[in-house]
């Protein structure tokens, strides 16, 4: 039995939910559905700190939470843990929610959307944390600590000097009640620390299986309420998860070692803990840590560079685990249907961003083939064409919907991003090229004859132009030249159409431009050939 299933049965037993024997005999998915139900509802959360903008590692954590919620008919909550006021980045809170919406994984409850369990900004829940911290003090599970920052720094330096891991020595947990009251009455600055006790109960992680970290043996008592009245992560996250009725906490594996500490706090408060699942880390393809200092891992950077959100979701799940297949081109609905928690492994997910253009190409092609999505692409491209080629466009026909749609369908499977169509290689689609008589003369002395043949061909074909048919027609046309080889004929046609010697096939160029524009460009070639 997988660790996930073992955990599911453990959860059912702990929560007093009944899982009929018959269910255990059905296929895995049925068991998962039964055992993932917590008090009738699955509620998961993504709780980033707005001390920076959303990056790929954060998006991946949010994505797994979103997929888990949708797979089991639950709710996906966005909670912003903004208690570290000194490190907040202006605009980051709004941007995180913007990027989740852009990525197609919007939260059901959030600072922007609201919800019954709000507010969803921790800075607006300070009274709740203060009450809980005082509850811990009154029950003897926490205490006031009056140690100065200078003393704590000396402890740290001494530990490092002797080769030990720095830890608080729990000095203030031994203060007598009258000493505490005296210091409080004097207004001595203080924090509140939680008493770590030995004898931690093991817990079953959904991914890493049975775990137990005897935190009291390696750590000093942690601060749960800072001197400024703000809680630390360790207190705030368990208070919020409890009051927001979070059923499953799916977070990065770097938090696995802290879970025993959090479970001690749940126990001290008499609260039922959620089920924990720690996701393996997202790493670079060489196994190095994905760093926020890599400017290109921020979601805004991908959005700016024309990466499609579906491609980002696809590549981050493709390189990880938890799905029945790893095929490319999956959209969010397919990711949800193919999600299989029992397949999440403990191995780090190695991300190869060099493959992202290939993912983007596949998803761009899917968008082009979808009529509604294609219309959105056309609107987007129209704006970009106007912005890039403002004063150079000679014919407004290039901005028409039908023209751009034809270009997109011809180029699908060849381009990785929409912005490629704005590069110099494709400028001929939007702006008539500048060609000199010297360029023409350098290729052939039969330019006039060849141009006339093309004009005649286009007149005969009318509006019905197709790449395959044109390829055959152009081969026949090239044979009619007396002294010009096929290769030079095609170079001449490409030059007249685009002013370049690279790009799509000549036939595709012609189909893209259409009969009227082809005629215009070859009339110009006729004029040039007469003067050369």
pLDDT tens across 441-450, in order? 999 999 999 9
The pLDDT score that the predictor gives to residue 286 is: 86
On the 0-12 / 13-18 / 19+ scale of CB atoms within 10 A, 325 is exposed
Instruction: Evaluate if residue 224 carries a pLDDT over 90.
Output: yes
Using alpha carbons only, give the angle 136, 141, 147 rounded to the nearest 5 degrees. Answer: 90
Condensed to tens digits (0 to 9), the pLDDT of residues 191-222 reads 999 999 998 899 999 999 999 999 999 999 99
Q: pLDDT band at residue 21, thresholds of 50, 70 and 90?
A: very low
Condensed to tens digits (0 to 9), the pLDDT of residues 166-198 reads 999 999 999 999 999 999 999 999 999 999 999
Question: Full-prediction pTM beyond 0.85?
Answer: yes
Q: pLDDT band at residue 296, thresholds of 50, 70 and 90?
A: confident
Q: Average pLDDT, stretch 112-135?
A: 97
Q: Average pLDDT, stretch 391-395?
A: 87
Helices 259-269 and 126-138, packing angle to 10 deg: 80
Instruction: Evaluate if residue 470 carries a pLDDT over 70.
Output: yes
Q: Which of 50, 119, 56 is nearest to 90 (CA)?
A: 50
Condensed to tens digits (0 to 9), the pLDDT of residues 259-268 reads 999 999 999 9
Per the listing, tokens 């802290």 go with: 258
The pLDDT score that the predictor gives to residue 40 is: 57
Answer yes or no: are the C-beta atoms of 209 and 344 closer than 8 Å. no
Q: pLDDT band at residue 293, thresholds of 50, 70 and 90?
A: low
Percentage with pLDDT > 90 across the chain = 84
Instruction: Evaluate if residue 12 carries a pLDDT over 90.
Output: no
**Beta-ladder partners of 284:** 351
The pLDDT score that the predictor gives to residue 295 is: 57
Instruction: Evaluate if residue 93 carries a pLDDT over 50.
Output: yes
> And the tokens for 47?
């709780």
Q: Average pLDDT, stretch 286-292?
A: 78
φ, ψ dihedrals at 223, nearest 5° = -75, 130
Instruction: Evaluate if residue 414 carries a pLDDT over 60.
Output: yes
Q: pLDDT band at residue 462, thresholds of 50, 70 and 90?
A: confident
Instruction: Evaluate if residue 16 carries a pLDDT over 80.
Output: no
Percentage with pLDDT > 70 across the chain = 91
Torsion sign, CA atoms 190, 195, 196, 198: positive
The pLDDT score that the predictor gives to residue 294 is: 59
d(CA 468, CA 62) in angstroms, rounded, equals: 46
Using alpha carbons only, give the angle 279, 260, 265 rounded to the nearest 5 degrees. Answer: 120
Instruction: Evaluate if residue 34 carries a pLDDT over 60.
Output: no
> And the tokens for 153?
């720094």
Q: Average pLDDT, stretch 141-154?
A: 97
Average pLDDT, the chain: 90
Answer yes or no: are the C-beta atoms of 128 and 239 closer than 8 Å. yes
The pLDDT score that the predictor gives to residue 86 is: 85
**Beta-ladder partners of 121:** 80
Instruction: Evaluate if residue 496 carries a pLDDT over 60.
Output: yes
DSSP-derived letter for residue 206 is: T
For the ranges 69-73, 270-274, 290-294, 337-341, which has the lowest average pLDDT?
290-294
d(CA 518, CA 515) in angstroms, rounded, equals: 5
């Amino acid at each position: 039995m997988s660790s996930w299933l073992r955990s599911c049965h453990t959860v059912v037993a702990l929560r007093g939910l009944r899982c009929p024997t018959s269910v255990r005999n059905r296929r895995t998915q049925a068991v998962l559905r039964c055992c993932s139900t917590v008090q009738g509802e699955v509620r998961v959360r993504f709780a980033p700190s707005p001390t920076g903008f959303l990056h790929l590692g954060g998006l991946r954590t949010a994505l797994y939470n979103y997929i888990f919620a949708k797979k089991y008919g639950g709710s996906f909550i966005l909670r912003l843990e903004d208690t570290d006021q000194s490190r907040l980045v202006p605009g980051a809170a709004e941007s995180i929610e913007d990027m989740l919406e852009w990525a197609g994984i919007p939260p059901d409850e959030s600072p922007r959307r609201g919800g019954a369990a709000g507010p969803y900004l921790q800075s607006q829940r300070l009274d709740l944390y203060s009450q809980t911290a005082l509850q811990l003090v009154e029950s003897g599970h926490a205490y006031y600590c009056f140690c100065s920052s200078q003393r704590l720094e000396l402890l740290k330096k001494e530990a490092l000097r002797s080769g030990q891991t720095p830890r608080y020595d729990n000095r203030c947990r031994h203060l007598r009640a009258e000493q505490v009251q005296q210091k409080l009455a004097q207004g001595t600055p203080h924090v509140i620390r939680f008493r770590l006790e030995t004898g931690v109960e093991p817990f079953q992680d959904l991914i890493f299986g049975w775990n137990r970290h005897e935190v009291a043996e390696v750590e000093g008592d942690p601060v749960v309420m800072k001197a400024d009245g703000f809680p630390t992560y360790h207190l705030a996250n368990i208070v919020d998860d409890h009051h927001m009725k979070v059923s499953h906490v799916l977070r990065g594996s770097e938090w696995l070692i802290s879970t025993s500490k959090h479970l001690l706090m749940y126990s001290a408060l008499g609260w039922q803990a959620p089920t924990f699942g720690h996701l393996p880390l997202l790493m670079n393809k060489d196994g190095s840590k994905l760093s926020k200092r890599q400017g290109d891992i921020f979601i805004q950077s991908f959005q700016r560079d024309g990466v499609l959100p579906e491609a980002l979701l696809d590549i981050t799940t493709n390189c990880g685990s938890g799905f029945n297949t790893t095929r490319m081109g999956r959209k969010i609905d397919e990711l949800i249907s193919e999600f299989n928690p029992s397949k999440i492994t403990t191995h780090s997910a190695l991300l190869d961003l060099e493959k992202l253009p290939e993912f983007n190409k596949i998803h761009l092609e899917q968008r082009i083939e979808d009529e509604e999505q294609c219309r959105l692409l056309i609107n987007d491209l129209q704006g970009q064409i106007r912005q890039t080629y403002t004063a150079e466009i000679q014919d407004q026909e290039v901005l028409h919907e039908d023209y751009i749609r034809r270009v997109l369908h011809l180029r699908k499977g060849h381009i990785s991003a929409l912005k490629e169509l704005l590069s110099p290689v494709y400028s001929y689609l939007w702006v008539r090229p500048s060609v000199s008589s010297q360029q023409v003369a350098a290729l052939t002395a039969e330019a006039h004859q060849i141009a006339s043949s093309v004009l005649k061909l286009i007149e005969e074909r009318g509006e019905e132009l197709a790449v395959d048919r044109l390829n055959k027609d152009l081969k026949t046309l090239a044979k009619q030249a007396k002294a010009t080889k096929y290769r030079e004929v095609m170079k001449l046609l490409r030059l007249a159409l685009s002013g370049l010697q690279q790009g799509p096939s000549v036939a595709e160029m012609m189909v893209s431009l259409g009969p009227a524009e082809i005629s215009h460009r070859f009339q110009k070639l006729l004029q040039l050939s007469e003067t050369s």
